[in-house]
Amino acid sequence: MAVRNQLIPHRLPEKLDAEKYRRLLSYPGWNYFTQSIKATRAFENGLDACLVLLRYTEDIRKGLSVKEYERNLQTLYTFLLIVLDHLDRWDDYLSLWEICEKTRTFPPPMQKRVCNFTVTEFSPSS
């Protein structure tokens, strides 16, 4: 990749305001954004945009409710991990995963259900 599109990291902050930010991070805006990054395989641009959005999230933190702030962080960090995975940046991925795990950015894992059935319940009838 000789020339990389530099429009996203430089132009996004100047065009972003709280309303556009909320629209982008809500349904269906976020789905369109992530699918366009995946479909075009523009993961470097996705990484840059995600970092700009994380910075913007911190800049407007006081204007967000606690629930909205945490949801947006979870959304952005999850996508950041996906992008790092596609870029094969495993050291960065693992570092970010450890930070998220320590700071509880992700929700706790769901408890596994205990299965109360036996194999004979699923064996063919004689």
Q: What pLDDT digit, counting tens, does each position of 104-118 carry?
A: 655 555 444 555 555
Among 43, 45, 56, 69, which residue's Cα sits nearest to residue 13? 56
Q: Band of the pLDDT at 36, cuts 50, 70, 90? A: very high
The DSSP element (H or E) to which 120 belongs, if any, is none
The average confidence (pLDDT) of the chain is 79
Least confident of 14-18, 19-23, 83-87: 14-18
pLDDT at residue 31, as a whole number? 94
Q: Give residue-wise pLDDT tens across range 75-84.
A: 999 999 999 9
